[in-house]
């Protein structure tokens, strides 16, 4: 026997659908802890309106905090519970701005096949060094966030505070050089009284890699290799780096 839904029920279902309930659901599903779920949904909606990035661990911790505030002692925020909660409310992971351009895979494969092997030919693995650098934006918020599927994201202003870190090791991983860190302040108060940092620290106004800094780092690499050669018979090193402008014009 089919019972025609009342107008009030239809309005309730319509409001639930507008509030990101899944359009594919034929029946209304609620979790065993509906009060926590509703409170977490309200909190998520509020944070989304403020463009605050949200992750799974953040939601799990917030659910635990809300359960304590609501005095629900038997509540347990698990990964499975969170998955069902996200599915019920059409929440998925999105990136706040466009993806970077795709890598030219064909060019990479051609370089590896036709150029890289010729460059390293005759060198032992211990003598082939690769260096690469990365910008650490330590005040920046994550690019990805959990949000409602039908919502468009508008990313806020990103913090530009950064450090640049250069890493280098040989092909076998047996020799790892101390990291080169580039910041903005020449005299950091955190380093006061520290005798051995186990890193190389440099500074300029933008915290970027510059040619002079890279030259100095290369000289340090050469000195370390020469120290090793005094104790054992090894080849001259082969340092590999990308084509960053700050790496140009270094001494050969």
> Residue 73's domain is classified under what CATH number?
1.10.10.60
Q: Let me know: does 208 contact 170? Beta carbons within 8 Å.
A: no
The reply to whether 151 and 237 lie within a common domain is yes
pTM of the model as a whole: 0.53
Residue closest to 59 by CA, chosen among 93, 16, 104, 101: 93
Residue at 23 is within a domain: yes
Q: Using the 3D structure, point to which of 73, 89, 105 is the last residue of a domain.
A: 89
Q: How confident is the model at residue 19 (pLDDT cuts 50, 70, 90)?
A: low
Q: Which residue has the tokens 């211990």?
A: 126
Residue 21 pLDDT greater than 60, yes or no = no
Per-residue pLDDT tens over the stretch 40-93: 999 888 887 777 778 888 899 999 999 999 988 888 889 898 888 888 888 887
Residue 53 sits in which domain range?
7-89
Residues 6 or more apart whose Cβ sits within 8 Å of residue 85: 31, 37, 40, 59, 91
Mean pLDDT of the chain: 76
Q: Which residue has the higher pLDDT, 128 or 238?
A: 128
Q: Which residue has the higher pLDDT, 237 or 27?
A: 237
Q: How confident is the model at residue 100 (pLDDT cuts 50, 70, 90)?
A: very low
> Strands 128-136 and 238-240, how do they pair?
parallel
Domain count across the chain: 2
Residue closest to 23 by CA, chosen among 82, 84, 90: 90
In terms of DSSP H, where are the helices of 151-243?
A: 211-231
Q: How confident is the model at residue 219 (pLDDT cuts 50, 70, 90)?
A: confident
Q: Which residue has the higher pLDDT, 38 or 51?
A: 38
The reply to whether 82 and 137 lie within a common domain is no
Residue at 98 is within a domain: no
The reply to whether 137 and 199 lie within a common domain is yes
Percent of the chain residues topping a pLDDT of 70? 69
Helix (H/G/I), strand (E/B), else coil: 169:
strand
Q: What is the widest separation between alpha-carbon atoms in the chain?
A: 93
Q: Let me know: does 222 contact 129? Beta carbons within 8 Å.
A: no
Structure tokens of 67? 């359960």
- Give the separation between CA 192 and CA 101, rounded to whole angstroms: 43
Residue at 101 is within a domain: no
Residue 13 pLDDT greater than 60, yes or no = no
What is the reported pLDDT for 99? 41
Sign, CA torsion 29/62/139/214? negative
């Amino acid at each position: 026997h089919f019972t025609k839904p009342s107008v009030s029920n239809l309005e309730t279902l319509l409001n639930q659908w507008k509030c990101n309930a899944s359009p594919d659901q034929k029946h209304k599903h609620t979790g065993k802890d509906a009060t926590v779920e509703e409170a977490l949904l309200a909190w998520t909606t509020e944070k989304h309106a403020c463009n605050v990035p949200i992750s799974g661990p953040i939601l799990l911790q917030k659910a635990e905090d809300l359960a304590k505030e609501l005095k629900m002692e038997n509540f347990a925020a698990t990964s499975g519970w969170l998955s069902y909660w996200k599915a019920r409310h059409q929440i998925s992971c999105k990136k706040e701005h466009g993806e970077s351009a795709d890598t030219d895979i064909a060019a990479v494969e051609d370089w590896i096949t036709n150029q890289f092997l010729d460059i390293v030919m005759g060198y032992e693995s211990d003598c082939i060094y690769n260096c690469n650098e990365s910008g650490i934006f330590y005040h920046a918020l994550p690019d990805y966030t959990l949000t409602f599927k039908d919502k468009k994201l508008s990313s806020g202003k990103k913090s530009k505070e950064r450090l640049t870190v250069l890493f280098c090791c040989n092909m076998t991983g047996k020799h790892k050089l101390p990291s080169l860190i580039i910041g903005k302040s020449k005299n950091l108060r955190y380093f006061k009284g520290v005798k051995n940092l186990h890193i190389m620290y440099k500074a300029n106004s933008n915290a970027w890699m510059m040619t002079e800094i890279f030259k100095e780092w290369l000289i340090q690499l050469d000195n370390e290799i020469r120290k090793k050669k005094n104790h054992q018979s090894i080849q001259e090193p082969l340092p590999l780096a990308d084509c960053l402008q700050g790496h140009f014009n270094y001494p050969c």
